[in-house]
Amino acid sequence: MARGSTTGAGGSRGFLWISALSLGLVVALPALFVVLVAVFPDLGRGSLAAPFRPLWRVLSDPALAVLLRNTLVLGLGTVAVSAALALPLAALRALFRVPCARVWDLLLLIPFMIPPYIAALSWILTLQPRGYLEQLSGVNLAGLLFSVPGIILLMALNTFPVVYFILSRNFETIGARFSDVGRVCGAGPWRAFLRLTLPLATPGIAASLLLVFAMAIEEYGTPAALGRRIGFEVLVTGIENRVSEWPIDLPEAAGLSLVLVLLALAAFAVQRWLLARRDYRILGGKPQPFQKRPLGRWRLPVLALFALVAGVATVLPLLAILAAALGRTISGGLRPDNLGLTNFAELLDLGSGGLRALSHSLSLGVATALLAGGLGAITAYAVARGAGRGRAALDALSLMPNALPGVVVGVGIILAWNQPWLPVSPYNTPLILLLAYTCLLLPQPVRYASAALQQQGDSLEAAARVCGAAPRTAFARIVLPLMTPSLITSMLLVFAVASRELVASLLVAPVGYETISVYIWRQFDQGSVGLGMAMALCTIAITTLIPMLLIALMRGRLSPG
Amino acid sequence: MTQGLPPALSVRALGLSYGATRILDGIDLTLPAGEVLALLGPSGSGKTTLLRLLAGLLRPDAGRIEIAGKAVADPGRGLFAPPERRGLGMVFQDYALWPHLSVARNVAFPLEMQRCPTAERRARVTRALERVGLAALAERRPSELSGGQQQRVAIARAIVAEPPLVLFDEPLSNLDRELRETMVDEIAALVADLKLSAVYVTHDHAEALALADRIAVMRDGGIAQLAAPATLIDAPASAGIAAFLRLGTLLPASRTEAGWTITGSRVALPDPPNAPAGAAARVLLPERALAPAATASPDARARLAARVLRVQVRASGFALTLRLAGTEHEVALLSPRPAAPGDDLELAFAPEALRWFPATDDPTDHPLP
Amino acid sequence: MKLSLIAALLLATATTARADVTVYSAGPGSLINALAAGFTATTGTRVNVFQATTGKIMARLEAEAANPVADMVISASWGTATQFAEEGLLLDYDSPNAATVPDFLKLPGAVAEGVSGLVIAWNPTSGTPRPTDWADLARPAYKDMVTLPDPAASGGTFTLVEALLANDRKDLLEDLKDNGAIVAGANKAALTPVLQGAKAAVFAGVDYITMDAAAKGESIEAIFPSSGTVIAPRPMMILKSSQNAEDAKAFFDYVLSEPGQAMVAAAYLMPARTDIEADRPLIGDMKLMSNEGAPARDEVLSTFQGIFR
């Protein structure tokens, strides 16, 4: 049967153009300037002198091998631990009736809402000698905390929700019907899951693990906070050092960034290769109702597992943040007379700028979610259903920001948009932050939407076209609503990450414009850790509650059944 | 009745290739308005591809398609109307119901696309759902319906806008047999009631024979025979078509001094009306022309001795499988009288019912399972 | 539709944020905010502040080199001023208010806003004896209890390491390493474990950060070592590329004015002017180490890394 459908071709040409143009402005332009700076070190001064010298210096430096090895160890380790944490939970959540499922979802969403630099600090405050844990129980885990496995574990605790949410949705879509067939064919429940359900979830697994890998090799906060102590440098900290430690070396930072980009592109190629080998369409045109199974005697052990993971990943860091936010001083520790609401009072004080930073970040978060979500949906569609050679390039372009550390995007954006000959420029306005966040976060909606499209049969869209819908209408009425649940999940993630993004914000924030993360960072850097933690707690609450409210409002309208 | 109207569908010299592979070649078809054309063929014969070309879901690279007198594809002139400008109805193999829309919204979609006013739209959706007997389920989600109900929704969606041509892409292949038979009757009634022009893709010849005014038998990307059902059964154009339609037993025949015999045996056959060239031929012994001989027949060559191998009891009689005496060939027969394996029977047939084909005709032909 | 609305809103906030003097300043944020507010109250001219670490400020200046945005820069590292002066990026301005600033806190084009000193930041509740000199921290009593900011990330620590090397006291660093001292990022990252009691003292703590924490009630004390320490002047400079040099000069003057310098003192920094009172030890009260004959920056850093990695 012919599968080479040209259904979308007519329409996706338009989408292809919109997506190519926007990606060009948002992603390619800053990236191009990063490459240019790596090649022409004096570009910032408008000179093309001494081409390739810094790039050569970076590539010939033996330290690069160490950075690369450490980056790979960190990335792969985080992927492995994330998968080990998320896979069983996602499968249980999707295929069985887990008691209080919504509560676990919320609790497992929170680690993702805790900015990594906050999480790292809260773990340090908890586990180091005389930390909260020792103050309460008399033991400390500093040995684990300040080690490579410790860094990997913390990063996995931060990233596994991505895998959990993508996979539980994925497993839910697959349902039990395929493994039921397998069981009839004589496979035990385990084998049926391992041989059928799990392979069918491959697109989701590959997409989410790739995201985790990219997030891990790009993450700055955790390796910077913990790795520096034990001399564990990765590419990102290497880049950041060259940008934030005087004397500044932008060309070398750009050169290292190119290495990082290549690494992420390699991961992307692996994912493509995995997906190209088989067809994973599981959402045919014949909708099936799906009943979750009861857990039976596994109820208590499963509950205990969820409680353990949620406790370690969510409750402990939250309690540490709360303790620091309530503490008047750090040295006062958990002594009752040291606890109070002083920090919160100061945060809400109009003069402290805390409220202003909150409103800045929240509006930027919403704007980024909308922009990245829209662009992501269009790009994923153009890539999945379009024709033409430009698609692979577009796909790669949409993923590339995953490999671009925030600091590099920041530098690229300044270089690109602060050219004197530009008649209008968003530079030095909050729009530049919108551009930076959209660039950094675009991969999320693109990946989520692609995974959703991958599993949507062609015939649903073909039917709309035959029914008289123009490509744009078919997209808006059929394709888009069907990927909406996935897209919304990704937009919520975008919102949460954008409202707390630190590294690029520090660099490109317009003069006099403070975001939440800049505020927190300023408190950590020179003010009080407690005030920063109070702000962090408010941010976590807001970025968790707003999406929850949205989901509650939209439930039933979007999800079928 | 439909005279004066342009044909619902006219296809000329249509072709499609992927790279160097020719998928479809030289397709010519005409479907008068109000008739049903079945595209019948084994999988891989190109019938679904042809349907997707008609729908506009694929782009042809040669030939011309006209729907209701309007050209919709003519690559020679750079003409290609996308699916939405062809005003078709289509029923997909997997139904392609949109899971996020209610039954009524699914059915209303084509009307919405035509910007049909709300009140009229509601009335027409209700009418379409009533036709398929689902008016009560209008507000349900497709996932809450059974397979047959989902199929009916898909049909309602395809006919609601009263398109000049409805395309059916193996619509019943996902249903169980009993439901399939009911649905064939329902679709036939619907098509007749609404005087629909339709193209119906299937690999099931019973469906095609039940529904179609004309049947195009497709093989290897071309049309092997285009004919009315009765003609097709009475006069298959090749041994391959006869085999595909399971019209009866194909026997190899050889010319001997004594006349034609079944090759490798001494069983004699009646002389063909037009003697095939050469010393060998293939002959179709149609199942419906065979009957157990009741009385002695004058012509010994219109009789065959056979031994019963297997018997199946059916509501309509006894389905016998027999081996022709003196050969390894098996024939099938529906007998009104019971028989037991091992019984010897005399079979009679009318000599003019035999169909002769050249021996070289389609030697690789096998009916598909 | 929604999107363009939000874009419009963002643009609106952006345009209202346009101001007259744009200053990129290293911490503390409360100081530059107070200075900006005081200046606006006196002159009516608005000051727009980009506040970040010296490193981030330099990165932004570097990236903006083609089209500079800042009028004025206040960094925490004197080296940035010497470099900018060499590159000819600075506007030579002789502020009338700089008359009482000692010469070693001035360059053509730069005058110190204030000065910080390097101390031992010690937690009295850590259960360790009160240290009085750098070398104390290499004693067994402080085994595994000392942190150092990374000289690559902290200009102050760099200056101290530089001076130690210039005075042939590399062995002190080696002893520290042998005693289990760890390098922990920038200044604050080195201080936080000491505040919690995980560590007892910061070797090369920054005085004003330590004093500010103590003032907030943290259990921490800034101890000026008996064998001498180093100071880190914070250069303030007007960029030649400034489109608004007159207002920048006015702000420059304001920072060096009596009220401006009083604000510097209130942030526990040493005022650049010698005629301003401050509630803390001043340059004259300290024994200073010379960094005459110190190796180049790269060599200082690689020597340090050779010891601690």
Look at residue C16 in the predicted model and tell me its pLDDT.
40
pLDDT band at A560 (very low <50, low <70, confident <90, very high): very low
How many angstroms away from the CA of C209 is the closest CA of chain A? 7
The amino acid that residue A554 corresponds to is: M
According to DSSP, the residues that pair with C114 across neighbouring strands are C234, C271
Tell whether C37 is within 8 A of chain A (Cβ): no
CA nearest neighbour of B320 among B335, B306, B330: B335
Rounded CA gap, B239 and B236, in Å? 7
Rounded CA gap, B299 and B289, in Å? 16
Angle at B170 between CA B164 and CA B172, to 5 degrees: 105
pLDDT band at C303 (very low <50, low <70, confident <90, very high): very high
CA dihedral (C7, C10, C14, C16) positive or negative: positive
The amino acid that residue C5 corresponds to is: L
How many angstroms away from the CA of A464 is the closest CA of chain B? 8
Q: Over chain B, what HEC string results?
A: CCCCCCCCEEEEEEEEEECCEEEEEEEEEEECCCCEEEEECCCCCCHHHHHHHHHCCCCCCEEEEEECCEEEEEHHHCEECCHHHCCCEEECCCCCCCCCCCHHHHHHHHHHHCCCCHHHHHHHHHHHHHHCCCHHHCCCCHHHCCHHHHHHHHHHHHHCCCCCCEEEECCCCCCCHHHHHHHHHHHHHHHHHHCCCEEEEECCHHHHHHHCCEEEEEECCEEEEEECHHHHHHCCCCHHHHHHCCCEEEEEEEEECCEEEECCCCCECCCCCCCCCCCEEEEEEEHHHEEECCCCCCCHHHEEEEEEEEEEEECCEEEEEEEECCCCCEEEEEECCCCCCCCEEEEEECHHHCEEEECCCCCCCCCCC
> A331–C123: do the CB atoms touch at under 8 Å?
yes
Q: Cβ(B267)–Cβ(B325) under 8 Å?
A: yes
Task: Give the pLDDT confidence of C121-155 residue by residue, as tens digits.
Answer: 999 998 999 999 999 999 999 999 999 998 888 88
Rounded CA gap, A224 and B282, in Å? 84
Average confidence score pLDDT of chain B: 86
Rounded CA gap, A85 and A73, in Å? 18
**Average of pLDDT values for A290-311?**
85
Rounded CA gap, C215 and A530, in Å? 15
Q: Which two tokens stand for residue A428?
A: 């030095």
Interface test with chain B among A286, A460, A478, by most B beta carbons within 10 Å: A286
Q: Cβ(C212)–Cβ(C265) under 8 Å?
A: no
Look at residue A67 in the predicted model and tell me its pLDDT.
92
Residue positions counted in chain C: 309
Residues in chain C closer than 8 A to A524 (CB atoms)? 188
CA atoms within 13 A on the CB side of A194: 5
**Percent of all residues in chain B with a pLDDT value above 70, rounded to a whole number:** 93
Q: Which of A6, A460, A477 sits opposite B96 (nearest CB)?
A: A460
Rounded CA gap, C193 and A49, in Å? 46
pLDDT band at C98 (very low <50, low <70, confident <90, very high): very high
> A478–B92: do the CB atoms touch at under 8 Å?
no
Tell whether A388 is within 8 A of chain B (Cβ): no
Rounded CA gap, B259 and B239, in Å? 21
Average confidence score pLDDT of chain A: 82
pLDDT of A200 > 80? The answer is: no
**Average of pLDDT values for B246-252?**
89
Tell whether A62 is within 8 A of chain B (Cβ): no
Q: Which of C52, C56, C196 sits opposite A125 (nearest CB)?
A: C196
| C21-25 vs C72-74, strand pairing mode | parallel
pLDDT band at A556 (very low <50, low <70, confident <90, very high): low
Residues 6+ apart with CB under 8 A from C99: none
User: CB contacts < 8 Å between A and C, how many?
Assistant: 192
What CATH number matches the domain at B9-234, 1.20.1250.20, 1.20.58.110, 3.30.420.280, 3.40.50.300?
Answer: 3.40.50.300
- Residue A352, number of CB atoms within 10 A of its CB: 18
b (16+ CB within 10 A) / e for B79-110: ebbbbbebbbbbbbbbbbbbbbbbbbbbbbbb
Task: Give the pLDDT confidence of B198-241 residue by residue, as tens digits.
Answer: 999 999 888 999 899 999 999 888 999 999 999 999 999 888 89
Residue B90 CA: distances (Å) to CA of B32, B97, B148, B191: 18, 12, 17, 13
**Average of pLDDT values for B124-134?**
92
Residues in chain B closer than 8 A to A462 (CB atoms)? 55, 57, 83, 92, 96
Specify burial of residue B296 (Cβ count, 10 A radius: 0-12, 13-18, 19+). Answer: exposed
Q: Cβ(B201)–Cβ(B37) under 8 Å?
A: no
Rounded CA gap, A172 and C52, in Å? 46
pLDDT of B367 > 50? The answer is: no
> A431–C152: do the CB atoms touch at under 8 Å?
no
Chains near C (3 or more Cβ pairs under 8 Å): A
Give the homologous superfamily in CATH for domain B242-358: Nucleic acid-binding proteins (2.40.50.140)
Higher per-residue confidence, A45 vs C238? C238
| Complete domains list, chain C, with CATH | 2-115+232-280 (3.40.190.10), 116-230+286-307 (3.40.190.10)
According to DSSP, the residues that pair with C202 across neighbouring strands are C121, C147
Task: Give the pLDDT confidence of A435-492 residue by residue, as tens digits.
Answer: 999 999 998 898 888 888 877 878 888 899 888 888 888 888 888 888 888 888 888 8
Residues in chain A closer than 8 A to B49 (CB atoms)? 1-2
Q: Cβ(C89)–Cβ(C241) under 8 Å?
A: yes
Tell whether A560 is within 8 A of chain B (Cβ): yes
Task: Give the pLDDT confidence of A341-372 residue by residue, as tens digits.
Answer: 888 888 887 666 888 899 999 999 999 999 99
Q: Which residue has the tokens 């692609």?
A: A450
Residue A247: asked if its preceding bond is cis (omega within 30°), the reply is yes
Residue A331 CA: distances (Å) to CA of A117, B137, C176, C200: 21, 68, 24, 11
> C56–A244: do the CB atoms touch at under 8 Å?
yes
3-state helix, strand, coil split of chain A in percent (to 5) is 75, 0, 25
How many angstroms away from the CA of C31 is the closest CA of chain A? 11
Highest mean pLDDT pick, A395-404, A446-455, B10-19: B10-19
Look at residue A8 in the predicted model and tell me its pLDDT.
43
Average confidence score pLDDT of chain C: 88
Residues in chain A closer than 8 A to C11 (CB atoms)? 429-431
Q: Cβ(A189)–Cβ(A179) under 8 Å?
A: yes
How many angstroms away from the CA of C221 is the closest CA of chain A? 12
- Residue B48, number of CB atoms within 10 A of its CB: 21
Residues in chain B closer than 8 A to A6 (CB atoms)? 57-59
The domain ranges of chain B are: 9-234, 242-358
- Residue B336, number of CB atoms within 10 A of its CB: 9
> A371–C3: do the CB atoms touch at under 8 Å?
yes
User: CB contacts < 8 Å between A and B, how many?
Assistant: 120
Of the ranges B197-206, C150-159, C235-244, which one carries the lowest mean pLDDT score? Answer: C150-159
Of the ranges A100-114, B238-252, C123-137, which one carries the lowest mean pLDDT score? Answer: A100-114
Look at residue B1 in the predicted model and tell me its pLDDT.
45
Q: Which two tokens stand for residue C72?
A: 């004025």
| Complete domains list, chain A, with CATH | 1-29+341-561 (1.10.3720.10), 59-280+296-334 (1.10.3720.10)
Tell whether A488 is within 8 A of chain B (Cβ): no
Look at residue A12 in the predicted model and tell me its pLDDT.
61
Higher per-residue confidence, A91 vs A279? A91
Tell whether B45 is within 8 A of chain A (Cβ): no
Look at residue A1 in the predicted model and tell me its pLDDT.
34
pLDDT band at A269 (very low <50, low <70, confident <90, very high): confident
Q: Cβ(B252)–Cβ(B356) under 8 Å?
A: no
pLDDT of A559 > 60? The answer is: no
Look at residue A128 in the predicted model and tell me its pLDDT.
87
> A286–B55: do the CB atoms touch at under 8 Å?
no
Write the DSSP string, A359-376. HHHHHHHHHHHHHHHHHH
ipTM over 0.90: no
> A142–C198: do the CB atoms touch at under 8 Å?
yes
Task: Give the pLDDT confidence of B265-315 residue by residue, as tens digits.
Answer: 878 888 777 766 778 888 898 888 888 876 555 565 677 888 999 999 988
Coil, strand or helix: which one is C279?
A: coil
Q: Cβ(A93)–Cβ(A101) under 8 Å?
A: yes
Look at residue B126 in the predicted model and tell me its pLDDT.
94
Task: Give the pLDDT confidence of B49-75 residue by residue, as tens digits.
Answer: 999 999 988 889 899 999 999 999 999
Interface test with chain C among A526, A533, A535, A550, by most C beta carbons within 10 Å: A526
This prediction has a pTM of 0.78
Residues 6+ apart with CB under 8 A from A202: A274, A275, A278, A280
Q: Which two tokens stand for residue A285?
A: 């045109």
Residue A157 CA: distances (Å) to CA of A79, A532, A545, B140: 11, 22, 20, 42
Q: Where are the beta strands (DSSP E) in A395-478?
A: none
